[in-house]
Amino acid sequence: MHWSTYLVLPFSLSFVVGAVAFNARAYTIQSTSCKAVDRVLDEEVNITIDYVDVNPTAEKSIIMIEEFKDEYRMIAIDSSSTLADITGDLTCVLEHVGIQSAICLGHDWGAEVCYEAARRRPDIFYALVGVTVPYLHAAGPFADSAQLAAVMPKLAYQVFFENHTTEAVAELNKDIRRSLRATLRTVNSAPPDSFLTSTSNYLSAYDNIPPIPFFTSSDEEYFVERFSIQKFDHTLIFYTRGNRYGTWESTQAQGNYTIPQPVLSVLPLNDPVADWVFAAKYLKSAEFLPRLTTKTMEGAHWPHLEHPQVFNGLLRAWLETLNHSFTPDQRVLSDEL
């Protein structure tokens, strides 16, 4: 399941830490086999997807959050490729665990996974939450990383990821702990600007990186342990031109960019990467989201981890509104989809 800068980690940073420290080791990693397309070989293959299933007896399901583990069933998965492919991964895992309808919650590229999943499968995803990054719809011409960086210069690191993927993966894999620490920062412990604007490397501009500020030492060890197994070999899938163009192309072929389901967009006010409030307006994201609720909060790129109680409060209030917004017939329908 992934999270963001889509780092693409084994467990999504969409797991929100509450007042009690989150213990990732308390949950068993399970797996299932799903169909996927190998575009190099141009053939269908079976892939194994890892996931975590929290509170499997709950009546409602949400992908993927810790604060609500006693009220909602939560599925966190690990997958890759285009957003259309990941939608298939999500639906495959949900079918495997017997979930017929769910709310999708994702951060950064995880948010885009949820937007695309809701757009493609409104029969399954009856609402979604996107954190940090607004809806990057496919209406209009395709834009590569260089075009995005021209508008938002601190996205320049994505040019390196797109044009030098092999080198970027090798750099990230060289020191797993350093790579994680460089990416998971807060407002009060921000990376240098040169770290975000380089198109020729990712880590060389960042020395003496302190521990991840919103993790305990045990949390950090867990992430280092998991990434040492998975490494970053498939982490940059969202930045490769092939996958980004493939997502845009498949959506263009369908010709539908509107998501009619309820949407909560939570945008941070202090992200060093980009002004996401401006980006949402620039992209006119709201025009394609008729049931959009937008909330802003203090925080850098990971506001749900930097200020979990604030984020959890926003999410809980929206979920309560969501539950009351359905008529009795609609609530039955959403539970039976």
**Is pLDDT of 336 > 50?**
no
pLDDT digits (tens, 9 = 90+) for 138-179: 999 999 999 989 988 999 999 999 999 999 999 999 999 999
pLDDT digits (tens, 9 = 90+) for 52-109: 787 887 777 665 566 777 777 777 776 657 888 888 888 888 898 888 888 999 999 9
pLDDT digits (tens, 9 = 90+) for 241-253: 988 999 999 999 9
Higher confidence at residue 201 or residue 11?
201
Confidence of residue 301 (pLDDT cuts 50, 70, 90): very high
16 within a domain of the structure (yes/no):
no
- pLDDT given at position 12: 37
- pLDDT given at position 164: 92
Confidence of residue 328 (pLDDT cuts 50, 70, 90): very low
What is the rounded CA–CA span in Å between residue 87 and residue 148?
Answer: 24
Tokens 């420290």 identify what position? 21
**Is pLDDT of 124 > 90?**
yes
What is the rounded CA–CA span in Å between residue 237 and residue 27?
Answer: 26
**Is pLDDT of 298 > 50?**
yes
**Is pLDDT of 326 > 60?**
no
Tokens 């994505």 identify what position? 158
What is the rounded CA–CA span in Å between residue 97 and residue 32?
Answer: 9
Q: Look up the domain containing 303 and give its range.
A: 24-336
9 within a domain of the structure (yes/no):
no
Q: Which of 99-103, 132-136, 255-259 bottoms out in mean pLDDT, i.e. has the lowest?
A: 99-103
Q: Number of structural domains, the chain? A: 1
325 within a domain of the structure (yes/no):
yes
CATH number at residue 206: 3.40.50.1820
Distance of CA 145 to the CA centre of its chain: 18
Mean of all residue pLDDT scores within the chain? 83
15 within a domain of the structure (yes/no):
no
> Please, which residues have CB within 8 angstroms of residue 148's CB and are 6 or more apart in sequence?
155, 158
**Is pLDDT of 37 > 50?**
yes
Q: Over the range 181-192, which residues count as b (16 or more CB within 10 Å of their CB) and which as e?
A: bbbbbbbebebe
User: What predicted TM-score, i.e. pTM, was given to this entire model?
Assistant: 0.85
**Is pLDDT of 4 > 80?**
no
Average of per-residue pLDDT across 184-200: 89
pLDDT digits (tens, 9 = 90+) for 211-254: 999 999 998 998 899 889 878 888 888 898 988 999 999 999 99
228 within a domain of the structure (yes/no):
yes
The separation between the first and the last C-alpha atoms of the chain, rounded to the nearest angstrom, is 23
10 within a domain of the structure (yes/no):
no
- pLDDT given at position 166: 93
6 within a domain of the structure (yes/no):
no
- Choose the most confident range, by mean pLDDT, from 94-108, 112-126, 185-199: 112-126
Order of strands across the sheet that contains 73-77: 30-38, 43-54, 73-77, 61-63, 102-107, 125-131, 263-268, 292-297
3 within a domain of the structure (yes/no):
no
Share of the chain above pLDDT 90, in %: 48
Confidence of residue 325 (pLDDT cuts 50, 70, 90): low
pLDDT digits (tens, 9 = 90+) for 263-296: 999 999 999 999 999 999 999 999 999 999 999 9
**Is pLDDT of 38 > 90?**
no
